[in-house]
Structure 1
């Protein structure tokens, strides 16, 4: 047991830096994917055929592309176009582009749970599509969106480890550094697992709190 705790205490700086970057990736990509995914979701339910087609094409293309390829495109292909982006911003963009497709589908599914008659009544009162969506539909759809949305963000948190393969120092990169220091990999992986459990737990608690609050509000 002493050896197990020694791995953490002797390498606290590496664990700290790795998980801080993981949290940064998660927060930046979470906000970005929520904004972009909501816009794409609005396109998916838009009355404009061109917008619906664009949203559907984006979602189908990105969801069927491995996240590793999205990372590889931004890290290796984009610089060939004389567009130089550092590794960390590239990882953020890759996570946003990929996760927003899943957020879009959650938004679309949530919107579909709202009775169509409410949107029709709002349009009959002269409200625009944007007003109907933001004032009438989305506030009600949020209740149905919480569980799948939290699942998407938990998956994104775990997907941040892919950035380790593209020169970003985050939690997924810790085992490689620890191997160079000769530390036992089993203990290293256990500490990383514990770290991710600590990060995921608040999301699970938040999900349950929101579900309970809105269930009572109904």
Structure 2
């Protein structure tokens, strides 16, 4: 029988870790301020699916295999770092424009895909999942316990991204973005660049 206390421990740990500032939360906030609630929610849905994929990988025990595979992990970190640098370049271009230019980033397929790729490009997510699940699951945990814990965290992840989208797409947030767009996009570009460089450096650190 599953211990509700263990589930609560896992959920609490995930709830503390997931909303913390990082590439995903920064991106969904930026997307929501610049393109509106619908685009933010679609983008957040892509993030949630990417997060869920890593959750399945961790729950299935494949995370340990990935962690032990130096070549695969290095390649994923390099690709993830490159994608973050590409996002930094896009934000920098936006900051450099004197006026906000029309964009197709709010289109549902593109917004969803961008969110999906952002979380899939961060292999560190699977290690975060492994750490969270290990807090409440032991060697004797059954499949049902693993599925319930992973599913709970997936739902929490989706709710967290949706909350970011709703909060940062309010009229006040969007008006603030319109007034300080160049500064905000510049800061976002810098944060993406730092995250991308850090991921690339961590890839070479494993050599």
Q: TM-score range by the shorter chain?
A: 0.3 to 0.5
Q: As a proportion of its length, which structure holds more helix?
A: 1
Structure ID, larger Rg: 1
TM-score, with normalisation over the residues of structure 1?
Answer: 0.37
Which is bigger in relative contact order (C-alpha 8 A, separation at least 6)?
2
TM-score, with normalisation over the residues of structure 2?
Answer: 0.38
